[in-house]
Structure 1
């Protein structure tokens, strides 16, 4: 049924969302003028070393024998993002780095909208003005704007989360499949969602007895199984491709040994980096991650925080490499930070918006300078 007031409010929210998004993006584009433009200035590290190479040449057939890249290959980078870039590049004729910027500029408002809808539904009434000011100035959104997978991954994650929340498991399963074609950590998210869905169904139906309870539990198990099968299909498709290409279906994992990503007991890599005085910035990031995860459980955002915790433990135990992106650029991380900020006085919240804005601009300039502090 058409509701004029609701439609008007939705239009108002979208207008504010797009205004803030355009304003922040405009500032970043302006900053990039001195660095050759936004596309060239932002395409560093994984963008230039992996994604653009996959777009132009496809996946490597063998690992590199060059001294600088010994044992390395681009198999660790899942196909959803680079193949999307390649398709749009071929359709439009635009350079792939430009396509990456445009793609994420289009996806980011959709991600922000899903995060707002999800948190408004689960956590309570959310002031959309504050929400989008915090969201678009949040420092970790740097990786949502440059040619990286974080924005696409976040969109599929929130698509799955929103669909599960609304009991639309076919949509959730499609999102899970795409999520697991975007990054390997997608399967961890899918497994956590499936387990939580069964657990929450069991809790909701605790008052039922006998056949009714069994039917309800069976339905939730089937929904969760569909979710896991879809996610497993996504990662399996890439594994089958890698097997045909290299003879190693787990090449995406094995090749990371060349980056010194090896499993040890939790905390080993913190000690290693402190002892060797390397990547201390990543140690600080890991500590901040742990604090936010702890606060997430305090805020009773159990599902969202468990997704972060499981992802964090896998990354934390294998290396601190990119742990700031893996955790801080997850939409659930922002949701926890936002929930914490809402406990503060308005003046403090406004100060945080200013702090986030300045920090985002500073790290953006550092990124343009190709610094390894943010790698």
Structure 2
């Protein structure tokens, strides 16, 4: 009897043994609270771009309606299809020609990379709508997805995230991200590359970089950000710069990621070689568009020196030169914040097209996701600044859309 009493005292009753301690209860409640908080944050992350997607559509449609006698969403989509958009529509509907287009100064479609037109073509087979309608919806969806990918990249900074979403979907250049241009897909894939690198998932980064290189030529430059991330990881583990190549050779995932990164570009070059006979046709055709290699500094100087003959507003070359300079300055800021991979990618993505001329430079700069995220972070530090900039984004969208529809050259 005494032994059984002692045993019962040591083991306790079944209900007592199953009861959780106060510390365990608090830990469980803390985990539950964090899970609920994380769920609420993701609801916010999904709702914010949706709100700006709707508001941006309303603002841009109001601008379109004020200058157009033809109502309807398809008419709106066609009105916003300006400049390079028409080339992408032609590629999606007719593909690439084998010879220069007759009567157009030896111009061909080869300078426009194929991934996004291929995506729109695929969707057009699935849905019975016009090309521009499908492309507009797809671009908007890509921009929405780019916002979601930016949420972890912005370290869940709500103010910065709101500004970023507002800029893409309701901002002064939101028409670039909601019509048939490569910017929506380019920003989405760029964000995916840097998110994969942030998580050290090099295979995912390599595959996404391959897609990026099939979207725009400068997409292949993301491989430098990937190699930089590998080097930083090697240094954090105590490795030296000398031992870095040998370390990479011992990591098959890194080697595969590096070698598949330009796969999209190489596939397009092979296609051009087989159909046109020139794997570098995307470069050689640039002369027909007035792009000839030269001194980037001279192009910048000529752009800044193109002062307006009347009025005080800067000319289109001045806007383009200022965009390039601001983009390069922001790349330096990225480097100062020790984001060397993003800085290298953005700077090289500005300098490469700058070697030819300043055309489309505004669009190229605002299509660099790391720069947009940096701007959102810088402008969200102060609550007052954040509110003022948000109001400016929304109000400027109307007038910039009018300028885009009207063919303002700086926005090309």
Map of 2:236 onto structure 1: 204
Match of 1:7 among 23, 35, 39: 39
Match of 2:175 among 138, 142, 165: 142
Map of 1:32 onto structure 2: 64
Task: Determine the C-alpha separation between the residues in 1 that align with 2:371 and 2:40.
Answer: 30
Q: Given the superposition, is the C-alpha separation of residues 4 and 215 from structure 1 closer, same or farther in structure 2, using an over 3 Å criterion?
A: farther
Q: Given the superposition, is the C-alpha separation of residues 268 and 274 from structure 1 closer, same or farther in structure 2, using an over 3 Å criterion?
A: same
- The answer as to 2:336 corresponding to 1:298 is yes
Q: Given the superposition, is the C-alpha separation of residues 342 and 238 from structure 1 closer, same or farther in structure 2, using an over 3 Å criterion?
A: same
Map of 2:320 onto structure 1: 282
Task: Determine the C-alpha separation between the residues in 2 that align with 1:266 and 1:134.
Answer: 28
Matched residue count: 366
Gaps of 5+ in 1: none
Q: How much has 1:216 moved relative to structure 2?
A: 5.3
Q: How much has 1:246 moved relative to structure 2?
A: 0.7
Task: Determine the C-alpha separation between the residues in 1 that align with 2:332 and 2:53.
Answer: 30
> Mapping of 1:127-276 within 5 angstroms?
128-129=161-162, 131-133=164-166, 135-190=168-223, 192-206=224-238, 217-219=248-250, 222-273=252-303
Q: Given the superposition, is the C-alpha separation of residues 128 and 253 from structure 1 closer, same or farther in structure 2, using an over 3 Å criterion?
A: closer
Q: How much has 1:17 moved relative to structure 2?
A: 2.7
- The answer as to 2:131 corresponding to 1:93 is no
Q: How much has 1:336 moved relative to structure 2?
A: 1.6
Q: How much has 1:299 moved relative to structure 2?
A: 3.5
Contact 2:321 2:361 in 1 (8 A): no
Greater radius of gyration (CA): 2
Cα-to-partner distance string for 1:96-139 (whole Å, 9 max, x where unaligned): 01111110111111101111211217xx7866445544554443
Task: Determine the C-alpha separation between the residues in 1 that align with 2:48 and 2:107.
Answer: 44
Contact 1:138 1:357 in 2 (8 A): yes
Contact 1:119 1:126 in 2 (8 A): no
Q: How much has 1:275 moved relative to structure 2?
A: 5.7
Task: Determine the C-alpha separation between the residues in 1 that align with 2:59 and 2:144.
Answer: 16
1:279 aligned counterpart, secondary structure: helix
Gaps of 5+ in 2: 1-30, 308-315
Cα-to-partner distance string for 1:207-258 (whole Å, 9 max, x where unaligned): 69x99x99855455x4443223222211111111111111000001110111
Please give the TM-score of this superposition, normalised by the length of structure 2.
Answer: 0.81
Q: How much has 1:311 moved relative to structure 2?
A: 0.9
- The answer as to 2:55 corresponding to 1:17 is no
Map of 2:20 onto structure 1: none
Contact 2:291 2:356 in 1 (8 A): yes
Please give the TM-score of this superposition, normalised by the length of structure 1.
Answer: 0.88
Map of 2:373 onto structure 1: 335
Contact 2:160 2:379 in 1 (8 A): no
Map of 2:140 onto structure 1: 105
- The answer as to 2:93 corresponding to 1:56 is yes
